[in-house]
Chains A and B, each alone.
Chain A
Amino acid sequence: MDMSTIEQAKAMMTPHIGSAPQADIKVTARDVNVYYGEKQALKDVSVDIPARSVTAFIGPSGCGKSTFLRCINRMNDTIPICRVTGKIEIDGQDIYDPVLDVVQLRARVGMVFQKPNPFPKSIYENVAYGPRIHGLATSKAELDEIVMSSLEKAGLLKEVKDRLDDTGTGLSGGQQQRLCIARAIAVSPEVILMDEPCSALDPIATARVEELIDELKANFTIIIVTHSMQQAARVSQRTAFFHLGNLVEVGSTSEIFTSPRDQRTQDYITGRFG
């Protein structure tokens, strides 16, 4: 075997599991507590989320994973009894700073929900809506360009390019979800939050969305909440396990799903509790 063959073989080897997170941190949370009235939903959550990668939040229902996800674009502000303490920063900027414009924040941090929720408008308008209200395009041609490239990035363009004026709600479930992803990326966000984006989709549509997530991670920081352990294992590079409002364990996905450190993580992902 000559040297180049050995080098090639080395290049194909699986990187060692448990590798440290990338140095480039996008979102930093420190001691985040969330209360719904008297009830505490999150307890002292501190975590770093690396840029341009997929981080999965897993845990049983009511563990706080969705609550934490919604803290990252201040969706919890819409719930009157909800109170958030602690610090969340994106690129070092405190997103709970009172002077910060929440609308601007939500342009930087897009969100995709469990159930596809396209506007009852045309496919084109669904995607054009965000760029228009944020004033991202100065001409019709520029707006067309944004809509087309967003649909392309969401892997939907080929399927809808001849019927951009048809209503978005007329698409299949999987197509609707990809339309919502196109709508989210149309405003060029930095972070995309996904709250169980595939739970209403069939396996083929799920595979398409997962493939899309894999492509999008080159340009976006993606955080996904999922009930499917297999999905978390497939799409993410890092996984965080939540339980009873605590962030129990966070680590590289390969490590979490082969050798988790905490017994609770172990019990949950092997299907042993509640």
Chain B
Amino acid sequence: MSQLGRLFGFTDKTQNPERSRMIPHTVKSYEAELEVLDKKIAQMGGLAEHNLAQAFEALQKRDPRLADMVIAADSAIDALEKDIEQQVILMIARRQPMASDLRHVVAALRITSDLERIGDLAKNIAKRANAIADEAHPKPVITGLGHMVEMSLKQLKMVLDAYAERDAARALEVWRNDLQIDAMYNSLFRELLTYMMENPRNIGISTHLLFGAKNLERVGDHTTNIAETIHYLVTGQTVTEKRPKSDETSTTLHQQDE
């Protein structure tokens, strides 16, 4: 599904083989509520994707106006989270969902909270974009950050598609791919360390960029959370495999071998 499609809440029913194969509920309004839930999550996911892309663009282009727009747009994501949460609570109270429906509403709640966090992280990048707008940007780091954003967006898109299509295999693929984001983060971390050691005056901007990279690494983690939730939603089983990890920065102090 396109980002734009998600943003405006278009849902293509043929995209969801699981739900179209399923016999509809005897109670039609119940069926409709579940569809609305997916529509809202798609919309929320679209907004999160959009804000993350725009936040980086604002940083890269030193565009405070765009950054402010991203910061303001986050409230729409927060509002959707509240709305979905409210709907799920009502559905639990009124419908007492069972089996796949129960997993559906629980998954909706969890995915929503991950998307809301992704929105916050995008907003934080936008704030940092404003803070460093007047500084000289270290080009290679910005390029590296750009790759990380690209990868994060690709992962986010894939996980939202996996949700819409109830595709557990695709969700697992996202889950395994996170390794690459971690690797990118490691390399940016080292690069920024070097940059800071070269000249203490670089520390200010480097710290902002480092937090920016950390935010993207966290976006990746929330995306894998969503992937795990989808796996449970579709199969009824939690992911038992151990996720490969390559974020070594929490145990790194100096750049090695120099």
Which A residues are within 8 Å of any B CB, using their own CB? Answer: 229-230, 233, 256-260, 265-267, 269-273
Tell me if B246 is interfacial: C-beta within 8 Å of chain A. Answer: no
Q: Which chain B residues border A256 with CB–CB below 8 Å?
A: 99
Q: Are A270 and B103 in contact (CB under 8 A)?
A: no
Tell me if B146 is interfacial: C-beta within 8 Å of chain A. Answer: no
Q: Are B26 and A266 in contact (CB under 8 A)?
A: no
- With both beta carbons as reference points, the residue of chain A lying nearest to B22 in the complex is identified as A272
- With both beta carbons as reference points, the residue of chain B lying nearest to A259 in the complex is identified as B236
Q: Using an 8 Å CB-CB cutoff, how does the interface string of B93-108 with A read, 1 for contact, 0 for none? A: 0001111111100000
Cα of A256 to Cα of B24 in the assembled complex, Å = 20
- Complex A-B: 26 CB contacts under 8 Å: A229-B96, A229-B98, A230-B96, A233-B98, A256-B99, A257-B98, A257-B99, A257-B102, A258-B102, A259-B99, A259-B103, A259-B235, A260-B99, A265-B99, A266-B99, A266-B100, A267-B23, A270-B97, A270-B99, A270-B101, A271-B26, A271-B98, A272-B23, A272-B25, A272-B26, A273-B23
Q: Which chain B residues border A260 with CB–CB below 8 Å?
A: 99
Q: Are A270 and B236 in contact (CB under 8 A)?
A: no
Q: Which chain A residues border B100 with CB–CB below 8 Å?
A: 266, 270
Given contacts A259-B99, A271-B27, 17 further A-B contacts (CB under 8 A): A229-B96, A230-B96, A258-B99, A259-B103, A259-B237, A266-B100, A269-B98, A270-B25, A270-B97, A270-B98, A270-B100, A271-B25, A271-B26, A271-B30, A272-B23, A272-B24, A273-B26
Closest Cβ of chain B: how far from A17's Cβ, in Å? 9
- With both beta carbons as reference points, the residue of chain A lying nearest to B235 in the complex is identified as A259
Cα of A219 to Cα of B146 in the assembled complex, Å = 67
Cα of A229 to Cα of B98 in the assembled complex, Å = 9
Chain B residues 84 to 120 lying within 8 A of chain A, measured CB to CB, are: 96-103
Closest Cβ of chain A: how far from B29's Cβ, in Å? 12
Q: Are A258 and B236 in contact (CB under 8 A)?
A: yes
Q: Which chain A residues border B99 with CB–CB below 8 Å?
A: 256-260, 265-266, 269-270
Q: Which chain A residues border B24 with CB–CB below 8 Å?
A: 272
Q: Which chain B residues border A269 with CB–CB below 8 Å?
A: 98-99
Q: Which chain A residues border B235 with CB–CB below 8 Å?
A: 259
Closest Cβ of chain B: how far from A18's Cβ, in Å? 10
Q: Which chain A residues border B27 with CB–CB below 8 Å?
A: 271
- With both beta carbons as reference points, the residue of chain A lying nearest to B24 in the complex is identified as A272
Q: Which chain A residues border B101 with CB–CB below 8 Å?
A: 270
Closest Cβ of chain B: how far from A249's Cβ, in Å? 11
Cα of A271 to Cα of B33 in the assembled complex, Å = 14
Cα of A258 to Cα of B238 in the assembled complex, Å = 12
Closest Cβ of chain A: how far from B160's Cβ, in Å? 23
- With both beta carbons as reference points, the residue of chain A lying nearest to B21 in the complex is identified as A263
Question: Which are the 3 A-B pairs with shortest beta-carbon distances?
Answer: A259-B236, A269-B98, A272-B23
Q: Using an 8 Å CB-CB cutoff, how does the interface string of B165-181 with A read, 1 for contact, 0 for none? A: 00000000000000000
Q: Which chain B residues border A271 with CB–CB below 8 Å?
A: 25-27, 30, 98
Chain B residues 186 to 223 lying within 8 A of chain A, measured CB to CB, are: none
- With both beta carbons as reference points, the residue of chain A lying nearest to B97 in the complex is identified as A270
Cα of A266 to Cα of B19 in the assembled complex, Å = 13
Cα of A25 to Cα of B24 in the assembled complex, Å = 38
Cα of A269 to Cα of B95 in the assembled complex, Å = 12
Chain B residues 213 to 258 lying within 8 A of chain A, measured CB to CB, are: 235-237
Q: Which chain B residues border A266 with CB–CB below 8 Å?
A: 99-100
Cα of A23 to Cα of B25 in the assembled complex, Å = 38
